[in-house]
Chains A and B, each alone.
Chain A
Amino acid sequence: MLILTRQEKQVILFLGAVALAGMIISFLIKINSRVENYVRIDDELIKIDLNKAGMEEFIGTRAVSEKLAQKIIQYRMEHGNFDELQKLKEVKGIGENRYEKLKELFFVE
């Protein structure tokens, strides 16, 4: 008979708990898709809403200068909210390379 120490038992219990929790989460997602909203990571957590960001938030990303932030806000005032992220390329100063960097930081709801 295998004699387990206290630590070994705790590890086995932990692994069992993780597997069981994962099974429960997978089961809940299958029977009710709304559960996925609590498990999956929202854009709100990892990106900034392009249509709600102010000057401070743009500059705070460190990828947007004050001048570029002003241009984006100016564009928003003139053309209304961005309906898709691609429209950022229409802002003066945002080329393909810069757009590739900015699309990691912003989302459009």
Chain B
Amino acid sequence: MFGLFLSLFAFLFGALLLRNHQILPRCHIARQLFDLQGKPSSVEGVVRSQPAYKFNSTLLLLETRKIESGPACHACCGVVLVKINGKKDLGYGDIVMARGNLYKPYRNAAPGNNSYRDYLSRQGIYCLMHIPSPYHLKILGKDNRFSLQGFALGLKSKVEGLLFKYVPPVPASILAAMILGERKGIPPLVNLSMMKTGTVHILVVSGFNTGLVIFIIMLLLKFMRIPRKLRIACAIPLIILYCLMTGASTPVVRATVMSIIFLSAYALKREGEIYNSCALALLFILLVNPLRLFDIGLQLSFASVLAISCFYPRLKALLRVEALKNRLARFLLEGSLVSFSAWIGTMGIVAYYFRLFSPVTVLANLLIVPLATLITFSGFALIFVASAMPCLAPYFAATSEMLVSLLLWTNHYLLQIPYSCFKFS
């Protein structure tokens, strides 16, 4: 009975939280769009993202403070996605006055697809602003208060700068995506071709990368002969910093929360339980933003982790993998079973949202995931060496570039296999 009431309470609480989240506060700028749509308005706010320049436009998120339209001027709140025609040099924390047109994102979507408006609303963006030229945006000052997010983004820019300094643009953009979650520079066709082979997850910072970062941090701290509990205490804030650096996307937040739980369990000499830690990570994500429940990234991330946890041990026992004497055969079979388990868990979601079915996924993951591991390791090594010993950085960069080239060629040849991918309407 207690369990039933608790479940009912949790369900009602979740439903109310979701509904509450969908109702915007009175001061929210999107609630004033009815009066402002189509009319030029001036908005004062703080830049809350790293501005991205692509296709002759600058995109940024603006946390609004004040809005002026005609003679009226009043305080407001909420985040606006701003698009400026042309390039404007801005940084996180800049206080700006922008003049342009405010409007709601369009709702048109193919049946079964999420609309752009839904996609933005899940990130807390309900309003867009178009600024015709960089001269319509003035920088008023800087928000000098210390912000962990700002510090993390500053660090991310420096690390990105290091990658682009030593590696040509295309491999550097792939390294930046795999290490920092920065995907804006990836050629669109690379993204599309990896989606077809079911390996696009390697271009997204996820649990794998977070695990790698934890491994590197713990190893570096071990090098410094720091005791275990102190190592864990140092590692946790660094993992949170990495999570913020990579944009705190759903897979990274999931991996970060689960890692913190497992590290804490390790420190307390207790066993971590994967289903409980998954549930806790999901609870944390949904408490902050319940609309993430409808996010494709969240669904895929949790589906793959749960599928691997559920199917992999059973398949391993069924095929008696442990009994194999040949280590290479055992390694290959284990890798295949992990990919196969993840594929079973995510196949339905991928087919529903992307209308894709990729039988080549298991083979592709078997070849590409170890390559991606090497690339991520060598990318981190490049960053470390470029900071500490820049004279050696070109050699690490050459290896990283070669590995990225090998990854793209492998993916290219996998797509040539007959019936590797099916697209359906």
B141 to chain A, nearest CB (A): 32
Indicate if B404 sits at the interface (CB-CB under 8 A): yes
A48 to chain B, nearest CB (A): 7
Contact of B395 (CB < 8 Å), options: A19, A41, A44: A19
Return the chain B residue nearest A8 by Cβ: B223
Indicate if B397 sits at the interface (CB-CB under 8 A): yes
Contact bitstring A4-31, B, C-beta under 8 A = 1, else 0? 0101100100110011111101100100
Return the chain A residue nearest B216 by Cβ: A11
Indicate if A100 sits at the interface (CB-CB under 8 A): yes
Residues of B contacting A100 in the complex (Cβ-Cβ under 8 angstroms): 55-56
Indicate if B394 sits at the interface (CB-CB under 8 A): yes
B299 to chain A, nearest CB (A): 21
- The reply to whether A41 and B394 contact each other, CB–CB distance below 8 Å, is no
Q: Which of B168, B190, B378, B404 has the most CB of A within 10 A?
A: B378
Interface size class of B (residues with CB under 8 A): 20 to 34
Contact of B377 (CB < 8 Å), options: A14, A40, A46, A104: A14
Indicate if A39 sits at the interface (CB-CB under 8 A): yes
Residues of B contacting A26 in the complex (Cβ-Cβ under 8 angstroms): 394-395, 398
Asked if A19 meets B401 with Cβ closer than 8 Å, knowing A14-B377, A41-B408, the reply is no
For chain A, residues 75 to 99, give those with C-beta under 8 angstroms from any C-beta of chain B.
96-97
- The reply to whether B405 and A40 contact each other, CB–CB distance below 8 Å, is yes
- The reply to whether A39 and B401 contact each other, CB–CB distance below 8 Å, is yes
For chain A, residues 30 to 73, give those with C-beta under 8 angstroms from any C-beta of chain B.
38-41, 44-48, 60-63
Return the chain A residue nearest B382 by Cβ: A18
Report how far A18 CA is from B381 CA in the complex, Å: 9
- The reply to whether A45 and B395 contact each other, CB–CB distance below 8 Å, is no
Contact of B192 (CB < 8 Å), options: A18, A20, A22, A61: A61
Asked if A104 meets B187 with Cβ closer than 8 Å, knowing A38-B405, A39-B405, the reply is yes
B227 to chain A, nearest CB (A): 15
Report how far A18 CA is from B219 CA in the complex, Å: 18
- The reply to whether A63 and B188 contact each other, CB–CB distance below 8 Å, is yes
- The reply to whether A46 and B170 contact each other, CB–CB distance below 8 Å, is yes
Contact of B398 (CB < 8 Å), options: A11, A22, A44, A97: A22
A19 to chain B, nearest CB (A): 5
Asked if A41 meets B397 with Cβ closer than 8 Å, knowing A18-B378, A47-B187, the reply is no
Contact of A105 (CB < 8 Å), options: B188, B378, B394, B405: B188
- The reply to whether B223 and A97 contact each other, CB–CB distance below 8 Å, is no
Residues of A contacting B405 in the complex (Cβ-Cβ under 8 angstroms): 38-41, 45
- The reply to whether A5 and B222 contact each other, CB–CB distance below 8 Å, is yes
Residues of B contacting A25 in the complex (Cβ-Cβ under 8 angstroms): 398-399, 402
A69 to chain B, nearest CB (A): 15
Apart from A41-B401, A97-B55: 16 A-B pairs, beta carbons within 8 A: A7-B219, A14-B377, A18-B381, A21-B395, A22-B394, A22-B396, A25-B402, A26-B394, A26-B395, A38-B405, A39-B405, A40-B168, A41-B408, A47-B187, A101-B55, A104-B187
A-B contact pairs, 26 of them (CB 8 A): A7-B219, A7-B222, A8-B222, A11-B219, A14-B381, A15-B385, A18-B378, A18-B395, A19-B392, A21-B398, A22-B397, A22-B398, A23-B395, A25-B398, A26-B395, A29-B398, A38-B402, A39-B402, A41-B168, A41-B170, A45-B190, A45-B408, A46-B190, A60-B192, A97-B56, A105-B188
